Amino acid sequence: MNETINLLMNHKSIRKYKNEPVTDEQLETIVAAGQMASSSSNVQAYSVIAVTDPELKTKLTALAGNQAYIEECPVFLVWCADMYRLRETALPHTAGAETYEDTMENFTVATIDVALAAQNAAVAAESLGLGVVYIGGIRNNIEDISKLLGLPEFAYPVFGMCLGVPDQEPVLRPRLPLKAVLHKNGYSKEQTLAGAKEYDETLSAYMMERSGGEQSATWSEMMAKRLTQPARLQLKAFLKGKGFMKR
């Protein structure tokens, strides 16, 4: 174990923040660290919108499921997959050749790029004593949020990230046992399912402790609920409208 691994192993989602600012220097350092993440063919197909305006944060809070910490954190980052910049800067050099920014492959590249950059940024933020929480609810009303932030075609908001000085110390949430995730020389169905069964017991005990004995749901029960509830079914049509996934 070293300092970096200790930091990674102690990641906690922070949903309560002190009334202290994130400085411009901190913000720029965090995003610059995000930029150093791996990027497919160096396309760097992402952009980050830092939202500090209280009125804008209030609107985003309402659109993202009324998660109050969006409004309360000093900086809310909206991480966007962005093929617009790539297309616009490349077009003058294509000599009229057909371009393929609308393919499923390039959608995948942009989405992976932004996720890698955001996780680099999250680790950088935590190394500075700040806390973060990812906000998938940014996709609840994705069209309205895109219009609110002025996103062009071939750009979409993948998730948000609250950023600030932590004002809580949550208990670490246990993860799946390593044997359920790490496979050697091929995928083992038996191993992954055995690990998931073991995790059911671990997470149920965690939920009991966290809720003071009021909840004891297992991981598989939680995932069954998630799989049987339709969510954000408008996303496919929205993405196609933005120019993605046409080929």
For 64-83, the pLDDT digits (tens) are: 999 999 999 999 999 999 99
* CB-based contacts of 233-241 (< 8 A; 24+ apart in sequence): 234/142, 234/143, 235/139, 235/142, 238/142, 238/143, 238/146, 238/156, 239/107, 239/156
Instruction: Tell me, yes or no, whether 30 and 152 share the same domain.
Output: yes
What percentage of the chain exceeds 90 in pLDDT? 95
Q: What is the pLDDT of residues 81-106, one digit of tens each?
A: 999 999 999 999 999 999 999 999 99
Which amino acid is present at 82? D
Backbone angles phi, psi at 76, to 5 degrees: -115, 120
Task: Count structural domains, the chain.
Answer: 2
The residues near 73 (Cβ < 8 Å, ≥ 6 apart) are 17, 162, 163, 164
Q: How confident is the model at residue 118 (pLDDT cuts 50, 70, 90)?
A: very high
Quote the pTM value. Answer: 0.94
Mean pLDDT of the chain: 96
Q: How confident is the model at residue 215 (pLDDT cuts 50, 70, 90)?
A: confident
Beta-bridged to residue 79, according to DSSP, are: 48, 159
Instruction: Tell me, yes or no, whether 91 and 207 share the same domain.
Output: no
Instruction: Tell me, yes or no, whether 192 and 109 share the same domain.
Output: no
Q: Does some domain include residue 203? A: yes
Instruction: Tell me, yes or no, whether 114 and 187 share the same domain.
Output: no
- What value, to the nearest 5°, has the Cα angle with vertex 176 and ends 173 and 177? 115
Q: Does some domain include residue 149? A: yes
Residue 209 above 90 pLDDT?
Answer: no
